[in-house]
Amino acid sequence: MATEATVNSAASPGLPTPARKEYYWLRSFAAGGIAGCCAKTTIAPLDRVKILLQAHNPHYKDLGVFATLRSVPQKEGYLGLYKGNGAMMVRIFPYGAIQFMAFDQYKKLLSKKLGISGHVHRLMAGSMAGITAVICTYPLDVIRVRLAFQVKGHHRYTGIIHAFQTIYKSEGGVSGFYRGLMPTVIGMAPYAGFSFFTFGTLKSLGLSHAPTLLGRPSSDNPEVLVLKTHVNLLCGGIAGAIAQTISYPLDVARRRMQLGSILPDSKKCLTLSNTLKHVYTTYGVKKGLYRGLSLNYIRCIPSQAVAFTTYEFMKQTLHLN
């Protein structure tokens, strides 16, 4: 049995051969998008709290992670935990779709065209896929962060469309949607790279050394061996934890730059280096560069676990193996 998924049109009778070839890109795109949406919906309340803590929202600046989780429903109702999630779904479907699909394509490109294989090509392909997805969907991420940062009774934006219009008019047009892009790209390269690298390496090692214990035949192609669901979840969680630890300070800088004029100290957060220096000087390492990291471990582990597991499931459902 193969340990890596390969496209094999004759392997499964689920779809006619021409249709399976013709719609492969579309099905791959859908699989990645659905995986991203499932992952982000799972941890949406934790994501809102992370944004509030990272940017030191004045309504919650003196609270910790769990105190904020209790306080948000009291001040804004339980739906307040999902504020900005609509914009998140608009962004995350194309983001997840592009990232997973690009990873597969970059991996093939590096292996076949450049002769780069083994564990290194996973790291490179993951980094390239993450950067590609970020650049394509970044304006939607800025909108989502702005909406999530708002507190009930203190709204600057009434919705997604209004936020687009306001930012475009008051923050320099198109450039206003790309504040913080550089730290995002710099942070995404190691995050996506190590995430895909760790998951792919654990998957490869598991299926190579313990195929019976950890793996099973794919439902759409018995010739392809896939991880069992609980093993997928474990590998995805480990991948998320490692990747997040490496890239977290850059994520903090990115959020502050994205929030722009909303923050009183926005003039000190115009570039990546200035933002990192300002956060470190003002708040230090634990309360600044790594503020909210405990929450991020809680959110990134299930997020990546669900993302990778859902994607592996969708690959079988949509006959991609």
Give the C-alpha distances (Å, rounded to integers) separating 138 from 9, 39, 162, 204.
Answer: 35, 18, 17, 32
CA distances from 27 to 133, 146, 190, 268, 270 (A): 17, 32, 27, 44, 40
Cα dihedral 200/255/155/48 (nearest 10)? 40
Residue 6's pLDDT is: 40
Condensed to tens digits (0 to 9), the pLDDT of residues 207-217 reads 999 999 999 99
Question: Average pLDDT in the 275-288 region?
Answer: 85
Ramachandran angles phi, psi of 8, nearest 5°? -140, 95
Q: How confident is the model at residue 299 (pLDDT cuts 50, 70, 90)?
A: confident
Q: Answer with the residue of higher pLDDT: 279 or 262.
A: 279
The pLDDT tens digits of the residues spanning 118-168 come to: 778 899 999 999 999 999 998 888 887 787 777 766 678 888 888 889 888
Radius of gyration over every alpha carbon of the chain, rounded to an integer in angstroms: 20
Measuring CA to CA, which residue among 136, 30, 141 is closest to residue 93?
30
**Per-residue DSSP letter, 154:** B
The predicted model scores a pTM of 0.74
Which run of H or of E encompasses 316? helix 293-317
- For 45-96, the pLDDT digits (tens) are 888 887 788 777 777 877 887 888 888 888 888 888 888 777 778 889 999 9
Q: Compare 178 and 230 and report the one with higher pLDDT.
A: 230
